[in-house]
Each structure stands twice: as structure tokens, then as C-alpha cells.
Amino acid sequence: MADERTVEAILDAVAACAPEIRTALPGRRVESGETNPSGELRLAADEYADELIQDRLAEIDGIGAYASEEDEEIVDLGTGLSVAVDPLDGSSNLKPNNTMGTIVGIYDAALPASGRELVGAAYVLYGPITTMAAAVGASVTEYVIREGEREAVEEGLTLPEEPSIYGFGGRVPDWTDAFTEYAREIESDESLRLRYGGAMIGDVNQVLTYGGVFAYPALESAPNGKLRLQYEGNPIGYIVEAAGGASSDGERSLLDVEPTALHQRVPVHVGSSDLIDRLEARLG
Ligand code: AHM
Ligand code: MG
């Protein structure tokens, strides 16, 4: 099908961008002086990654729209699938030289769209090596990216049976009482250890690798949390669910959250199904 070829072409294009983004990072650790539509300061690296990915996707047939966490408006690319991108997730990790990622959600619908409209999602992780995790249909594949090419290292990736890590974002005093109770329950479980790096992609990839739970929850000061539905919540929920895990906004799968705006935020909880069930029991 034409759509499947387009999805693979998008994943190839994002993989090809990855080494270029990496190479461009050292000189782009400074603030650009601009803010993104969510009011956060942009780094020169955010702008570079956004422009590079948009340019490369514009060369692919079968894409109708490009939307980015960095841009106010949707860019019209013709007819076809809609691609929502967080070009550099966790870019505040660039100054201290820690993990970052790139996230891509591919929707067969106009944006903003429900996660149920996703036909593929992927993220690149700029760690000690560059990897990509991609969900197409109900299957997740992990790739190593070498010289801009994807090489599959694990197909049909699933979360391990026995979870062992957790990581929660937001200031602890800003958590809701219900989430604080959940966090205390998780912290007191002797089989779980804290792993939190401040870039969702790095933290989620640990959950995919070791099993566990990542959350950027609703906060007292921000009832919808920090992360954005189109660029972060939906694609990550889609990937974790395809890997046999679960996602939730606190009450329902992230994929069932009603899309209302391009830059809408959503509380994000993803991970091993049992740990998400326990979360919903506390928060529901
Ligand atoms: P970004 O896409 O603008 O970098 O923001 C998203 C990041 C996530 O990767 C991470 O989970 C979260 O922001 C951390 O936020 P905070 O800096 O509030 O701890
Ligand atoms: Mg992000």
C-alpha cells in the first residue's frame, strides 16, 4: 500500500537526519532567543533539527502536513499522511551533554488527530550510540543507526515481564495527592529502582528495555502536565502499547484522549500494564 511505503520513507528520512543532527549539536548549545508555541526557550539545535526534518520530509510523496512542537502552524506539504514531530526532545539536556531524542508520529488524519489515527510512530535516541525504536502496526523494532541507515537489532520488541525501573517528572511538591500516593507505592516496591534523566525519550527507552513506568503527571500548577499530545503523548503511547505495555492520561489510554488543539498538553504515564493499572486505580 502507498501509505506503508510512505511510512517507511519517513522512517528512513528521520534515520538519515540523525547523524546530521548529532554532528550539528556541539555548536548549537546556545539559546536562540526565541520561544516555542508552548512558551519554552528554544535552542539553536531545536531550530536546526526542526528545519532539517521538515526539509527532508518535504521531499517525500504522500505527506500532506508537517507539524512540529517548535512551530505555531501546520506546514502544508501536499496530500497524504500528517507527520507530527518533536525535533529535539529533552533539549535542556544538551548543555549538560545528556540524552536527547527525536519523536515522530505519523497520522492518517488531519491534525490535531487522535492517537487511534496513528499508522506509525518512532523515536531516535541520541545516547552513546544512536538508536531508533519504531512501531508500525502492532510491532516494535529497535534499530541501530549507522551512517544514516537503519539496521534492525530487535524485531517484535516487548517490555520484559518483570519491571525494574521507574522515573517521574515534575516537581514533587507540585504532584497531586493521588499521584504522590502512587509514587510512594512504587518507591516502596523493592523490585523497582529510580531512573530519571529529564529527556522523555531516554526515560521511556529505559522502560522499554527494563520494564517499569515513566510518568510526567498532571501537576497542581499544570493540570495537563507538560508533555504534548500530538508530538509526545500519542507517539509514545502507541509505541509502548505496541510493545505490550500500556499508556494512560490517568483515566484512559493516551490513544483515546480527545484531540482539541495542536499544542495541547496531556499527563503522560506509560509502561508495564500492571503498573499503569495500579496508577489508574489511584487516579481514576
Ligand atoms: P522538550 O520537548 O521541550 O525538550 O520538553 C519535553 C521534556 C521531556 O523530554 C521531559 O520528560 C520533560 O520535558 C522534562 O521536563 P522538566 O524540565 O520540567 O523536568
Ligand atoms: Mg519533547
Domain map of the chain by residue range? 4-155, 165-283
Ligand 1 in reach of 216 Cβ (< 6 A)? yes
Ligand 1 in reach of 185 Cβ (< 6 A)? no
User: Closest-lying ligand to the alpha carbon of 105?
Assistant: 2
Output the CA 199–ligand 1 centroid distance in Å. 6
Residue to probe by mutation, ligand 1, list 89, 100, 195, most atoms within 8 Å of CB: 89
Q: Which residue has the cell 499522511?
A: 81
4-155 and 165-283 share one CATH topology? no
Q: Tens digit of pLDDT for each residue in 50-70? A: 999 999 999 999 999 999 999
Q: What is the CATH number of domain 165-283?
A: 3.40.190.80
Q: Are 46 and 100 in contact (CB under 8 A)?
A: no
Tell which atom from ligand 1 comes closest to the C-alpha of 40.
Answer: 3
Q: Are 129 and 108 in contact (CB under 8 A)?
A: no
What pLDDT is attached to residue 1?
A: 53
Ligand 1 in reach of 169 Cβ (< 6 A)? yes
User: Closest-lying ligand to the alpha carbon of 216?
Assistant: 1
Q: State the Cα–Cα distance between residues 19 and 53, nearest whole angstrom.
A: 12
Q: Tens digit of pLDDT for each residue in 210-237? A: 999 999 999 999 999 999 999 999 999 9
pLDDT bracket for residue 284 (50, 70, 90): confident
User: Closest-lying ligand to the alpha carbon of 40?
Assistant: 1
Output the CA 230–ligand 1 centroid distance in Å. 15
Nearest CA to 56 out of 83, 91, 37 is that of 83
CATH superfamily of 4-155: Fructose-1,6-Bisphosphatase, subunit A, domain 1 (3.30.540.10)
Q: Tens digit of pLDDT for each residue in 229-277? A: 999 999 999 999 999 999 999 999 999 999 999 999 999 999 999 999 9
Quote the pTM value.
0.96
| Residue environment code for 98-136, b if the CB has 16+ CB neighbours within 10 A, otherwise e | ebbbbbbbbbbbebbbbbebbbbbbbbbbbeebbbbbbb
- Decide if pLDDT at 2 tops 70: no
Nearest CA to 63 out of 121, 108, 14 is that of 108
Q: Are 154 and 139 in contact (CB under 8 A)?
A: no
